[in-house]
Structure 1
């Protein structure tokens, strides 16, 4: 043992040096992070029913676009941050944030048929400028101008009717297939049932139409709900903080689809492969030629000669 202690190649690791000030410093306390509460039930919107709006005007403006004019009623209650003496000016701007087109699903005979719908969402940006009384007498009132900005959300569903045929919907497909393979079972029987699952999936990406806002008009009416007399001010002067407004919003939109849209009663749109329009135009041209020839026969001096010249039309 004494010989092993004197070996030059033997190395012993010493304990690391720790200063006294480190030993005297207490370890920091780590506070546990609060766990956010988990709601047992999901949050549902307060109103899941949207109002249906019938277009005032609906017309085709191009081979793949339509112009829709709709009137949307809206109502809201606004609370001002301070007491207002009088509304001086209200600036308004309409913003469309979302437009979703839902095409009707083709149905079989005897099954009710729905119409395409357009879901609209947006808001009216209102900049309310009002006066606030700061000093009043029995005959005068002095005040300051205040400014308040608020966004009024709007939403509706536009019924596009059944006067136009919009581009069809392409549905995803899944098909399962297998292979004819035989295996030998322990009993000596043959079976074609193998533990396999083969699937072919196809997915079509339908394109939504582009929505463009062409025109907007806002007709509103505001009422103060909590009018109180102005203390120490002139007679009939009142202050308020709560406004109830009613708006009629007139909107004109242009919907542009990626492919052409047609009319249901258009013979060219029902069977485009038969080219019915070309056949009708050719028939009308032949009838016009025959009528012109007959007019010349009736008015011309040489009736017999014209009859011989035009006998192949009769």
Structure 2
């Protein structure tokens, strides 16, 4: 800017002084830190067919909560970092990392209907304490205690059956609509005629979105029953003849889990016999109303007789008895009287 040259108070600042030893000192070399690879969730493999577990207990606790008890079998192979002489202690802790509820899709008559499912995933944290040999003789073994922590993934799908009707899923909808358009026709048509159609140059939609809420899951109780066996036992050289070392363990677990699912709305019990019950109630009501009209029932046949019918029959019987008293034909009339009573 040229106008600054004529300013008497212009001030400039020189670059700061840098010592020679600083300029001559080479800059330190910094090695780039490797970026750890991002691995997928180890609890669920990329592709897997999950096992279906039938709940041991499935009951309704309140108007919008259910209790689910399930038993999950699991198996894994664990490799210890060093050779172990003996397992001293294994502490276990169950962690649930996924509880995903899938409601059944409503189906029309004649189409198969699925059951609600609960995807359950997690891990069992195992803290394995074992002894490692540092010195041995023919009769003694000296060692140190090592610690090893490993996460064992577990997963299953719980079939919730057809006993309860869970809150339905509301689906998003998008509907298109248009307006009628009347345009004049070109030459060759009558001037009184117009072309009636919809406007193809417009696009009108009505969108509806429902924000469904997933149920909350609470872990109430867990039980882990496990068996661990060594797969690569080798004799301890230079030690007692019965001692062995190993590094690989095969583990089998039965995990008992009790959960409480709480839904945002009520849960209704599902009864397949509702239609039969309604039909039975209607039939009972008809019989009850009919019984109110009837006053007499036949002693041998399970049917009701109207009071007017009974009166007419009694009158007929009295008339027959009068004929018996007056006339000689006793036997035929008695037979006819017995038949009338049995009607």
Given candidates 221, 230, 236, the residue that maps to 2:236 is 230
Matched, 1:264 2:279: no
Deviation at 1:231, TM superposition (A): 1.0
Equivalent position of 1:242 in the other structure: 248
Tell me if the contact between 2:67 and 2:260 (Cα under 8 Å) persists in the aligned partners: yes
Equivalent position of 1:154 in the other structure: 154
Deviation at 1:179, TM superposition (A): 2.0
Number of equivalent positions: 267
Q: State how far apart, in whole Å, the 2-side matches of 1:95 and 1:105 are.
A: 30
Q: State how far apart, in whole Å, the 2-side matches of 1:216 and 1:45 are.
A: 24
Tell me if the contact between 1:117 and 1:157 (Cα under 8 Å) persists in the aligned partners: yes
Q: State how far apart, in whole Å, the 1-side matches of 2:78 and 2:220 are.
A: 28
SS in 2 for 1:67: strand
Q: Where does the alignment leave 5 or more consecutive residues of structure 1 unmatched? A: 1-43, 271-275, 284-314
TM-score by length of 2: 0.64
Q: State how far apart, in whole Å, the 2-side matches of 1:132 and 1:194 are.
A: 81
Structure 1, residues 276-313: CA drift from partner, whole Å, max 9, x if none?
Answer: 9xx9xxx9xxxxxxxxxxxxxxxxxxxxxxxxxxxxxx
Aligned-CA RMSD value = 4.4
Structure 1, residues 177-224: CA drift from partner, whole Å, max 9, x if none?
Answer: 112234457769745433111111111111111111111000000011
Q: State how far apart, in whole Å, the 2-side matches of 1:178 and 1:166 are.
A: 37
Distance 1:245 1:158, change over 3 A: same
Q: State how far apart, in whole Å, the 1-side matches of 2:248 and 2:84 are.
A: 9
Deviation at 1:108, TM superposition (A): 1.3
Structure 1, residues 236-276: CA drift from partner, whole Å, max 9, x if none?
Answer: 11111110100000001111113333333596xx9xxxxx9
Q: State how far apart, in whole Å, the 2-side matches of 1:137 and 1:261 are.
A: 71
Structure 1, residues 56-91: CA drift from partner, whole Å, max 9, x if none?
Answer: 111111111110110000000001111100000000
TM-score by length of 1: 0.70
SS in 1 for 2:268: coil
Q: State how far apart, in whole Å, the 2-side matches of 1:159 and 1:216 are.
A: 19
Distance 1:46 1:237, change over 3 A: farther
Greater Rg by CA: 2
Q: State how far apart, in whole Å, the 1-side matches of 2:222 and 2:80 are.
A: 26
Q: Map 1:67-216; keep pairs closer than 5 Å.
A: 67-183=67-183, 190=195, 192-216=198-222
Q: Where does the alignment leave 5 or more consecutive residues of structure 2 unmatched? A: 1-43, 286-343
